[in-house]
Amino acid sequence: MLPDIGEGIVECEVVTWHVAEGDTVEEDQTIVDVMTDKALVEITASEPGRIVRFHYAQGENARVHTPLYAYVPDEEAEAESAESDITAPEHKQVQPERLAEHRQEGDDKSDNKSGQDGRHAESRPRIPATPAVRRLLREHQLDIRAIAGSGRNGRVLKEDVLAYLKQSEAHETDVTPDDSHKIAEAAEADKAPAQACAVASDEVRSSRLESKAVPLKGVAAVMARRMVQSSTQIPHFHYGDELDITDLLALRARLKVRAEQQGIRLTLMPFIMKAMALAVIEEPILNARLSEDESEILYQGACNIGMAVDSASGLMVPNVKGVERLSILEIAREVGRLTEAARSGRVAQADLKGGTLSISNIGALGGTYAAPIINQPEFAIVALGRTQRLPRFDGEGNVCARDIMTITWAGDHRIIDGGTIARFSNLWKHYLEHPDEMLLSLS
């Protein structure tokens, strides 16, 4: 049964089955990955047993509270195996309460299909093997019946499969001199057609592009819907500036070695988040949101800063909780954890909820300026451009090289006016350009 995997989620896409029908599984073993509108979720086995049937194929949408797969618990699976070792087993009907009540339309057709092939499959004893071994067999497209099992009761072990593969490779590479002569003659005979094909390919070149239709679903579908909602319902006010982060980069370089000793990758993001949380203390309206009926402004008691991550499944914005009370290294550890989880598509639902401000680090991919779209129900988001080494005048009028980062804020103009976001941005900028002064504001 597909359980509740998130508030408001009624269906999800079946992405990958990690087992096959007929495999034995252990408790808490990953059975299938499903994609909700927010993240990739693993569904694990609730108890040991044997998989009997999948109710959904990969790529299909499964409804919450409907059967996802059917299985026989371990006790019944062992009883079947013991019975087959003594005598040819009789056909055993799986108890209806153990199988899901829901049936696909194709199930009736498969149940009605009988004959010699069906009776032969029922009478053939099942060769025991672990899920890992069966996965190895599938990867190399091998039939388990072709491999002699050296384990107990004829169980096929991983070593048996590897030995079979090694033997097969040795057989394929064993070529006699006569065979080599024949292969050389065949290669010479193929040269003329190959040259003709090369000439033909020059004359008529096929397109490198493919015409196809791809369904918009999962994270991509939710992103599309929310971006349209945000851009049409919220009047965006944009404010741009540039930051001189020369001193900040020098500070990061000094602390980087110490962070690596603790297994933490120290980037600029933790400093940017911490400075933002400190600026929120002076301008808390940036950390607020509207009530559902839009009659009240709800100030949030924690600064949960989200960061947009370009994952394989689409745009995700996990957030670091309580940035105002975390140290730089604690923020860096969370940033690393969330980035890795988002890029693999396995972000916990809790990490995607409760954000109060967002950062789009588009400059990491390239680009100097961007006009970000607010992540509802937040009031503001900032886009970071790429850092450039540019000439600037110092206090004495001399030209010097400085590290400059461009930034662009987007604010909800229903609540935030230009003066508010300018004051907030100036304070945030001051902390980043003078990181030593930021230390005085740390609690």
CA distances from 399 to 39, 247, 250, 344, 390 (A): 49, 17, 20, 45, 10
What percentage of the chain's residues is helix, strand, coil (to nearest 5)? 40, 20, 35
Phi, psi (deg, nearest 5) at residue 174? -80, 95
pLDDT at residue 183 greater than cutoff 80:
no
Our answer to whether residue 413 is catalytic in this structure is yes
pLDDT at residue 439 greater than cutoff 70:
yes
pLDDT at residue 254 greater than cutoff 70:
yes
- Bridge partners, residue 361, by sequence: none
Query: What is the mean predicted confidence (pLDDT) over 143-165?
Result: 83
Q: Residue 13 — very low, low, confident or very high, per pLDDT cuts 50/70/90?
A: confident
Rounded to whole angstroms, how far apart are CA atoms 169 and 157?
19
Q: Residue 170 — very low, low, confident or very high, per pLDDT cuts 50/70/90?
A: low
pLDDT at residue 53 greater than cutoff 50:
yes
pLDDT at residue 3 greater than cutoff 90:
no
pTM: 0.63
Our answer to whether residue 91 is catalytic in this structure is no
Rounded to whole angstroms, how far apart are CA atoms 138 and 131?
10
* Rg of the chain, C-alpha, whole Å: 30
8 Å CB contact between 368 and 384: no
Rounded to whole angstroms, how far apart are CA atoms 63 and 66?
6
Q: Residue 438 — very low, low, confident or very high, per pLDDT cuts 50/70/90?
A: confident
Long-range CB pairs of 193-202 (<8 Å, 24+ gap) are none
CA distances from 440 to 160, 305, 322, 427 (A): 66, 21, 19, 14
User: What pLDDT does residue 113 have?
Assistant: 41
E-strand spans in 55-177? 61-63, 69-73
Q: With the C-alpha atoms ordered 300, 305, 311, 314, is the resulting torsion angle positive or negative?
A: positive
Of 417, 430, 434, 436, the active-site residue reads 417
> Count of CB atoms within 10 A of residue 421's CB?
24
User: What pLDDT does residue 209 have?
Assistant: 87
Rounded to whole angstroms, how far apart are CA atoms 302 and 1?
37
DSSP-assigned letters across all residues of 228-286: HHHHHHS-EEEEEEEEE-HHHHHHHHHHHHHHHHTT----SHHHHHHHHHHHHHH-GGG
8 Å CB contact between 268 and 252: yes
Q: Residue 125 — very low, low, confident or very high, per pLDDT cuts 50/70/90?
A: low
Residue written as token pair 């804020």? 409
Q: Residue 253 — very low, low, confident or very high, per pLDDT cuts 50/70/90?
A: very high
8 Å CB contact between 70 and 52: yes
Compare 177 and 300 and report the one with higher pLDDT. 300
Helix axes 246-261, 269-282, angle to 10 degrees: 120
pLDDT at residue 295 greater than cutoff 90:
yes
pLDDT at residue 353 greater than cutoff 50:
yes
User: What pLDDT does residue 194 have?
Assistant: 52
Of 102, 413, 430, 434, the active-site residue reads 413
Residue written as token pair 């996802």? 68
pLDDT, tens digit (0-9, with 9 covering 90-100), for 311-336: 766 788 999 999 999 999 999 999 99
DSSP-assigned letters across all residues of 385-433: EEEEEEEEE-TTS-EEEEEEEEEEEEEETTT--HHHHHHHHHHHHHHHH
Share of the chain above pLDDT 90, in %: 42
User: What pLDDT does residue 124 have?
Assistant: 52
